[in-house]
A and B are shown apart, each in its own frame.
Chain A
Amino acid sequence: MTDNKYDRQLRLWGADGQKRLSEASILLINAPAAGTETLKNLILPGVGFITVLDDKLVEERDLGTNFFVTKDSIGKSRAEITMELLTELNEDVKGAHIHESPSKYINEKNLEFFKQFTLIIACDLTDAEIDILCDIGDELGLGLIFLRSYGMIGYLRLYKKEHACIQSKHADKELDDLRLAEPFEELEKYALEFEMSSLGSLEHGHTPYVIILIKALHKWKEAHDGKMPSNFEEKDAFKATIKEMARDFSKEANFNEAIENAYKAFSYESVPYEIQQILDNPKADSKEFHSNFWTLVSALKQFIAENGCLPVSGKVPDMTATSDFYITLQKIYQEKAKEDREKIKEIITKQADEKGLMEMLFEDEDIKVFCENARNLEVTRMENYKQELENPNTEDISAEFFDPDSSVQWYVAVRCAEAFRTTNSRYPGETKEQIESDVAEMSALVPDLLKKLGADESFEYNYDHIHEIARYSNSTLHNIGALLGGVGAQEAVKLITEQYTPLNHTYIFDGAHCKSQVFNP
């Protein structure tokens, strides 16, 4: 790190995330406020390369909504002006502009062109254009973010057919991997040979709960035909045995911790269901190269076949313990983790040989991160835009129609407005005179849409939303653009860094009530 310009974000996504960001190439299609704000939020943290594709000229009205145009740029290429002003923000970022019609590139499905990018951010596209870009995204494995704004309403649609994420970093997930229920040999040996009865009161009260639990479980299993405590009564009885082990339960924090953490042993699965699903994906067995992620998963699968469990993460949470006990315990886990990593590495090399591929280039750090997160791997699959209405996933969204405050009403209005735009080649309500007839035309589309989305027949749609959308037309507010640009950039960073779970897949922001919701019809 030669420069601490990025210090405050490295704390969030680390050197690995920063590297991916600095290698990413982003295409922005059309550059209204939401688009330039998104790019601003990617350029400041140091994305590698940006390209702005837009055939419009800067107009008077851009001045009031888009920070990245100036008065003397009126009449000039919006792609050029915004690209220039944006890249001024960070000397590490390079940029290019293309003053041409995006529709041309999209409609001719120019794969050669789109291939150069890591991620595409597209504003104000028509339904038809989004459909084609989704197809292009599928073919090239690209992430796509579509942004639209209608007055106080912001709309974001994320699409990536399959997104693999190694570091999901869920706060509510267990990041430690203590193997209490199925301790590996070295750990079990250490715990069972750990002599507690001769310890002084200080050490007794500072014996790590890991040791207490492994001892207690071992004893329990011996008395119960090798079975774990399974029902409520048994679990309670098990906890009681821990209490008995303590000399003074009220004062020994470690025994309290043992009881609090007993669930980690009860709920332990050697291979969690979600991970098994990923392993069952044909790509995990494929002889072809798909991506680094699937190469690692394929090695993981073989590791499990050989060892019956996932590699040990090596992470030990903070616990009541003397420094020496803690350090010893930590060493046992870390050494096992290292051993498992070495095995994975061997498998990768072997598999690469078998597949006739050149030796895979993985840094030790990549393998380490993968093994540490092996219990939390995530593969997100998203519906494409066309399917959303042709074959909607009504399971979740139909429930929204029972909630009178749900933003699903805005979702319906947005889809109707875009359907109107497809038919009429213009936004509804572009002039005051048009509003009434446009509202009528859009309203006629509502019942059919509701039916498709699985809305209950008793549901009464509030047509004020249709009216508002027509009134907003395609007007843009800077603050809504800023907000949408913030959300868009956050999601872009998640896709690029493959850290944190991206939203799946439609996001509606309702500025009038300052609230937002995610839908995935």
Chain B
Amino acid sequence: MTGFKQIEVVDMDTIDISNLNRQFLFTREDVGKHKSECAAKAIKRRFPALNIKHYVGNIKDGRFDSDFFKSFDLIYNALDNIDARKHVNRVCISLNRPLIDGGSTGYIGTTVSILKDKTPCYECIPKPTPKQFPVCTIRATPDKMIHCIVWAKYLLNALFGDQGEVNFLEDIREELSEVVKNGDYKALATKVFTKVFDEEIHSQLELRNKKQEYGKSELKEEEIKVIEMLRKKELQPLDSTVFNTNPEEIKYEDKEGNRKDTEIWDISLYVQLFYKSIESILTKYGDKVGHIEFDKDDEILLGFIIACSNLRAYNYNIAKETGFKIKEMAGNIIPAISSTNGIVAGMEVIEGLKILSGQTSKLKAVTFSSKNADRVITSSDITQEINKNCQICSNVKPLYKLTVDEETFKLQDLIEKVLKKDLSISSPTLECGGKIFFETGDDLDEDEIEEYEHKLPKLLKGDLNVGDKYNKIRVDDFLQDFTCDIELHYSKVVNKDENPQGYIFEIVVEGSQKQNPSKEEAKIVPEQDKSEPTYTCVDQNSDDVIIADPADICQKTAVKRKSDELEEIDHQAKRSKITI
């Protein structure tokens, strides 16, 4: 409504029913359709003269290349994850395009303008580390509901998810993969149940007794630790045979067939829900099994998590929780309301107009917080806070040190885990000793694609001989204009228990000068010396912030104004484009 004439919207998501409480461009009939398409259509209805284009896709896709980004005067981020934000930030910094990043959490909203050399970039300020739990707590000695939920999510992955994911329940995956393939849900449910909720608890009880019999000397150090932790716990194994797993009446549902997620149930109902969930997963998601990913808004998968986490809680005498609460914890749900998004959108337009009219010295980092009476919009002058050591917007070329186990580390590990996850790179080109050994991008021909695909599952050292002569890998992402060197070290000491990711990744700045490890680096360097290994248990992709809805941001058209200054802004606005 401010007068922008050309707007383009990018979004890969489809509309979920839980979006409707804040998205005024979508209706109930739109649920399941693509967000970008519905938003564009709704806007077009209100502003027929507007030139609005939509794309269904990930902003990290190769088709959104530098020419695409260059065609805009202003770019708005309304993203829900750090990875994609880093990507857009890098592209915008490299192309010198202004970026406005916004987000909201409950009553709190924020917007930050990013402009190369004028303001700090998104990566100048380290992002907080996701909460971590020791592997041992999740695997063997949970004492809070959240530990059981995290475990349940790993169990879901081990049974039905992608193999590539790091998972300490690998043994379950191997043992049960055949049963999963058979598709006999009853057999599978009974097997899983007996193994994880009964036998495992029994073996822990035995372990405890074993200590009394043999004394400390004959046990492994790790076993002693577990026993210590277990000693005061009341362990309660669950025998599936005492429960009616196939009841005539489903008591955990109300008359309309909705699961009673706001109530805490008797343990037998969680057993029933467990059996029912496995049945539903196998029958309804047949072809997706093997690639299922947890989605908090998928009722069937959520049911599995609710059942498993409560059953495990019972095993360890931890208080049960309602389905509603478990959904919140498992999905990392952040409250989102329409009013805060409206405020963020309003602030973002103001900041955008400042950029387009060249008033860049006035840019602010604006936070709105109004939970309580005394706290409202606060804006801080950000122009002075550029981080001179930022790897993205300053000229520092970073050097990393990567230590891997030569017998297990594959090219796909390097690409998926180190480059994509740890470094947020989206389309890497890898070079070693002047030879390119891996590329991604739209301009590759089919042979090349096939050749590189073929290389992915190969061992980096044994099969591909990377690092034989030269140990430095040059990593380029032409889209992000990101370059760095990785110094490769092979070692056999990369112990899986201590480094669940299977490698050690550290940052060393160019000239091998050690940089003070910031919070962010602490996240990507797996702990080495501590006896208790830590594990990143929060999904990298989980919503860190829910963002002002694209819909809120794109409603702009010409306005009658009196101020000359504003007219100038209007004039500027007419030739700008927006992407979300």
Contact = CB atoms under 8 A, between A and B. Distances in A.
B339 A483 contact: no
Interface stretch (A293-301, A319-327, A384-392): A319-327
Contact of A500 (B17, B232, B336, B371): B371
Interface residues of A, number: 80
Contact of B343 (A15, A44, A89, A483): A483
B57 to A, nearest CB: 25
B558 A500 contact: no
A507 B342 contact: no
A3 B350 contact: no
Given A8-B337, A64-B558, A503 B373 contact: yes
A517 interface: yes
A514 B563 contact: no
A66 to B, nearest CB: 8
Interface residues of B, number: 76
A517 B376 contact: yes
Nearest to A490: B339
Interface in B290-341: 297, 316-319, 324, 327-328, 333-341
A189 interface: no
B346 interface: yes
A8 B21 contact: yes
A67 B554 CA distance: 11
B21 A44 contact: yes
B233 A323 contact: yes
Determine the main DSSP class of B at the interface with A.
loop
A40 B364 contact: no
Nearest to B228: A202
A480 interface: yes
Interface stretch (A108-116, A347-355, A442-450, A469-477): A469-477
A323 B316 contact: yes
A140 to B, nearest CB: 23
A9 to B, nearest CB: 5
Contacts of B143: 322-323
A324 B233 contact: yes
Interface in B371-425: 371-374, 376-379
B337 A482 contact: no
Interface string A333-348: 0000000000000000
Contact of B370 (A40, A503, A515): A503
A162 interface: no
Contact of B561 (A318, A477, A485): A477
Nearest to B31: A5
B2 interface: yes
B22 interface: yes
Given A45-B337, A514-B350, A514-B379, A477 B46 contact: no
B101 interface: no
B353 to A, nearest CB: 8
A509 B377 contact: yes
Contact of A475 (B316, B349, B560): B560
Contact of B376 (A8, A484, A503): A503
A45 B342 CA distance: 13
Contact of B559 (A477, A486, A504): A477
Given A11-B335, A478-B1, A5 B18 contact: yes
B358 to A, nearest CB: 15
Contacts of A11: 106, 328, 333-335
Interface in A454-513: 471-473, 475, 477-491, 493, 500-504, 507, 509, 511, 513
B373 A502 contact: yes
B366 interface: yes
B335 A12 contact: yes
A2 B258 contact: yes
Interface hub of A1, A473, A483, A484 (most chain B Cβ within 10 A) = A483
A169 B1 contact: no
Given A9-B336, A483-B346, A478 B2 contact: yes
Contacts of A7: 18, 21, 327, 333
Contacts of B241: none
B559 A64 contact: yes
A475 B107 CA distance: 28
Given A323-B143, A514-B364, A515-B378, A1 B2 contact: no
Interface in A275-327: 318, 322-325, 327
B262 A64 contact: no
Interface string A57-93: 0000101110100100000000000000000111100
A32 to B, nearest CB: 13
Contacts of B374: 503, 518
B555 A478 contact: yes
A40 B346 contact: no
B208 to A, nearest CB: 13
Contact of A46 (B21, B317, B364, B376): B21
B261 A1 contact: yes
B546 interface: yes
B234 interface: yes
Given A89-B24, A478-B2, A514 B377 contact: yes
A486 B378 contact: no
B339 A489 contact: yes
Contacts of A88: 27
A208 interface: no
Interface in A1-41: 1-12, 15, 37, 40-41
Nearest to B48: A71
B379 A4 contact: no
B521 to A, nearest CB: 26
Contacts of B14: none
B347 interface: yes
B347 A483 contact: yes
B557 interface: yes
Contacts of B139: none
A8 B104 CA distance: 12
A99 interface: no
B231 interface: yes
A171 interface: yes
A143 interface: no
Given A65-B1, A483-B346, A493-B339, A323 B561 contact: no
A502 B371 CA distance: 8
A479 B346 CA distance: 4
Given A64-B560, A324-B317, A472-B562, A1 B232 contact: no
A170 interface: yes
Contacts of B342: 37, 40-41, 482-483, 485-486, 489
A89 B342 CA distance: 15
B317 A8 contact: no
B559 A44 contact: no
B339 A479 contact: no
Contact of A514 (B107, B347, B560, B566): B347
A170 B373 CA distance: 10
A516 interface: yes
Contacts of A171: 371-372
Nearest to A70: B46
Contacts of B256: 2
A151 interface: yes
A513 B106 CA distance: 24
A63 B46 CA distance: 10
Given A9-B337, A46-B21, A324-B234, 9 more contacts: A9-B336, A11-B106, A169-B371, A170-B372, A471-B562, A473-B562, A478-B556, A486-B342, A514-B347
28 contacts: A1-B258, A5-B17, A7-B21, A8-B21, A12-B106, A12-B337, A37-B342, A44-B338, A64-B560, A200-B231, A323-B233, A323-B316, A324-B232, A324-B317, A471-B562, A472-B562, A473-B562, A478-B559, A482-B346, A485-B339, A486-B344, A487-B339, A490-B107, A490-B340, A503-B370, A503-B374, A514-B347, A516-B376
Interface of A: 1-12, 15, 37, 40-41, 44-46, 61, 63-65, 67, 70, 88-91, 151, 168-171, 200, 202-203, 206, 318, 322-325, 327, 380, 429, 471-473, 475, 477-491, 493, 500-504, 507, 509, 511, 513-518
